[in-house]
């Protein structure tokens, strides 16, 4: 592989069948909402696809603030605001479950020298 090949950016194309117009809303305290309205290539609304509303906030941990991003099952900003607290809780629970899963994977991949199996053999605990 030549140095030029290493610096070459892979070709990227815009998925023109999957365009959205984005609007942002915030309460300037804890909540950020993004409404993604599907549009056609000419910029007009595409009623054949669903409007998406995404939420974002930060939760404090011992390691500092952690951003949370999640989709809200809502059609309006009012509905999104009402569902926001439960969606945050669900996202936190998912984050905790994922952290536990990663810890289990890390623990199960440890190789401990001297485990049964004799010299030169590697055994998973």
User: What are the distances in angstroms from CA 111 to CA 106, 114, 116, 117?
Assistant: 10, 9, 12, 12
Token pair 């290539």 is at which residue? Answer: 41
pLDDT score recorded for residue 6: 77
Question: How far apart are alpha carbons 91 and 73 in whole angstroms?
Answer: 13
pLDDT, mean over the chain: 88
Q: How confident is the model at residue 106 (pLDDT cuts 50, 70, 90)?
A: confident
pLDDT score recorded for residue 109: 73
Name the β-bridge partners of 66.
59
Q: What is the pLDDT of residues 17-40, one digit of tens each?
A: 999 999 999 999 999 999 999 999
pLDDT score recorded for residue 120: 52
Question: How far apart are alpha carbons 116 and 125 in whole angstroms?
Answer: 9
**What residues contact 8, with CB distance under 8 A and at least 6 apart?**
none
**What residues contact 71, with CB distance under 8 A and at least 6 apart?**
52, 53, 54, 55, 87
Question: How far apart are alpha carbons 76 and 25 in whole angstroms?
Answer: 12
pLDDT score recorded for residue 45: 96
pLDDT score recorded for residue 113: 66
pTM score above 0.75: no
Q: What is the pLDDT of residues 43-80, one digit of tens each?
A: 999 999 999 999 999 999 899 999 999 999 999 999 99
Residue % of the chain over a pLDDT of 90: 71
């Amino acid at each position: 592989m030549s140095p030029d090949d290493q610096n070459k950016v892979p070709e990227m194309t815009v998925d023109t069948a999957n365009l959205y117009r984005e609007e942002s809303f915030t309460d300037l305290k804890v909540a950020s909402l993004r409404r993604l309205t599907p549009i056609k290539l000419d910029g007009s609304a595409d009623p054949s696809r669903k409007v998406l509303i995404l939420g974002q906030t930060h939760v404090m941990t011992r390691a500092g603030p952690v951003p949370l991003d999640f989709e809200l099952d809502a059609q309006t900003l009012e509905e999104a605001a009402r569902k926001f607290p439960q969606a945050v809780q669900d996202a936190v629970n998912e984050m905790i479950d994922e952290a536990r899963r990663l810890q289990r994977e890390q623990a199960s991949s440890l190789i401990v020298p001297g485990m049964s199996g004799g010299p030169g053999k590697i055994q998973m605990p």
